Amino acid sequence: MILQRASSRSAAFALVAASLIAASTQASDAQAAPSHAASKVTLEFVKNTKDPSNSSLRVYNAGKFVTKYRAGSGLGTTANYKTKAGKRYRNDCVSKAGWLPNGTYRPTSFQTNRDSDIKGYAIGLPNKECQAGGVNRTALFIHSEMTKDRKQGPKKGADSPRRWDGDVDYKSWGCIKLNPYDIARLFSYMNRHGRAASLTVR
């Protein structure tokens, strides 16, 4: 989910644009990756209670750890983790604010040139009821911020929804967000080893 934010930290990821140029050449191949039905690749999102925007997405192949990327889910940060708002951001029943519900997900799509509110690289996830029940979280993805063509868009105001502006962009409405360089690396890995068969959130 795309979150409009007020602050900008574009300098932090100056090298991302150059990395994406190389990564984008792999995009058409990524769509042809082996079906996740036969893949041994799995993902695990491990929440950081003190700072949800500094959680991790871990990659495994046949149960063996491969690598991990910094990732975020929800609006929580270190600064607010003891506040009323901070607790709300860690509540998986709060739509467009809280982080992803725990459990196992089977990815529903793998796109390299998605063209909607979320653009470029995107892994679709099924709807999930929150742990306390009563709220079904929808429109869930693993994604970043970029253009449809997996490039970094122009800077527009304090925050650019098509451009990675820094650590603030790890915040989301509940989706899992990676920086552009890391999601390109993830798709490159899946292109070689198979699409992720499952995502475990804990």
Per residue in 103-152, pLDDT (tens digit) is 999 999 999 999 999 999 999 999 999 999 999 999 999 999 999 999 99
pLDDT at 36: 55
Gap between the Cα atoms of 94 and 84, Å rounded:
13
Gap between the Cα atoms of 77 and 104, Å rounded:
24
Beta strand 128-129 with 119-125: parallel, antiparallel or unpaired? unpaired
Percent residues over pLDDT 70 in the chain: 82
Task: Select the more confidently predicted residue: 142 or 10.
Answer: 142
Alpha-carbon dihedral sign for residues 44, 32, 113, 155: positive
pLDDT at 39: 94
Residue 16: both structure tokens together: 């991302």
Query: Is pLDDT at 18 greater than 50 in this prediction?
Result: no
Residue 71 burial by Cβ neighbours in a 10 Å radius (0-12, 13-18, 19+): buried
Gap between the Cα atoms of 164 and 143, Å rounded:
12
pLDDT at 22: 46
Residue 190 burial by Cβ neighbours in a 10 Å radius (0-12, 13-18, 19+): buried
pLDDT at 35: 57
Query: Is pLDDT at 25 greater than 80 in this prediction?
Result: no
pLDDT at 16: 45
Query: Is pLDDT at 15 greater than 90 in this prediction?
Result: no
Residue 186 burial by Cβ neighbours in a 10 Å radius (0-12, 13-18, 19+): buried
Query: Is pLDDT at 158 greater than 80 in this prediction?
Result: no
Task: Select the more confidently predicted residue: 29 or 166.
Answer: 166
Residue 159: both structure tokens together: 């925050």
Query: Is pLDDT at 62 greater than 60 in this prediction?
Result: yes
